[in-house]
Every structure is written in C-alpha cells, then in structure tokens.
Amino acid sequence: MSHDYKAQKAETFDSFEAFAKDAPKLATITYQFYPEDVDAKWDAVQKALEARGFRTHRDDEDELLDAEIGPLKISAETIWQHEQIATEIALKYDFTPDGWGLLEE
C-alpha cells in the first residue's frame, strides 16, 4: 500500500494553520516515526536521516524515533518540505510518520 502524501500534507497545513499566529518565527522541527516491525532497522534509518541533515533520537520506552532539523524559519511549507523528506526516508525502513512538533529556540 502506498503512502498518502497528499493527505499528510493537508494534515500538516491544517495543523499549522490552527496555531500559526502563535507559532515561533524560528524553531527546531521534530518529526516522530514509529516502527512497523519488531525487527525495525533503527540504525539504518537513523543513518539515512542523519545523512540528510536530521539529528535523530531513539526513544526505546515509547518505541519512537525523533528526527530533528533546524532551527529554521517556521511556516507550513517549511515544515512540510522537511517532513516529506524525512517521511520518504523513514518509509523505506518501515517506519511510519506520527506527527511533528516545534522546539522554540
């Protein structure tokens, strides 16, 4: 089954629009992914994301992978641009996107 990038983008833009007036002008964006398989390729996905400029952190307790980038000037388009890149990488290693957040500088 293929990933629905159009729906993911729409959700990102809708989510951002809900708090755009309160959003920081500059922030680090954190994307979260969870493994679809118990034998997930954690090291490989982290290496691939880091090769594209993301900093990664594995949360074993919650079984989540955080991929951070920034600080960047924040807009829905900026969030989506990096979300799409991270998602494309994560999906290759059977990790599913699970949202994003902003860490204000």
Task: Give the model confidence (pLDDT) of 11-52 as tens digits.
Answer: 999 999 999 999 999 999 999 999 998 888 999 999 999 999
Task: Give the model confidence (pLDDT) of 48-82 as tens digits.
Answer: 999 999 999 999 888 999 999 999 999 999 999 99
For residues 93 and 48, the answer to whether their CB atoms sit within 8 Å is yes
Q: What CATH architecture applies to the domain 5-19+27-104?
A: 2-Layer Sandwich (3.30)
Query: What pLDDT is attached to residue 34?
Result: 95
What are the boundaries of each domain within the chain? Answer: 5-19+27-104
Please state the pTM of the whole predicted model.
Answer: 0.94
* CA angle at 66 for the pair 65 and 72, rounded to the nearest 5°: 160
Query: What pLDDT is attached to residue 90?
Result: 97
For residues 82 and 20, the answer to whether their CB atoms sit within 8 Å is no
For residues 102 and 23, the answer to whether their CB atoms sit within 8 Å is yes
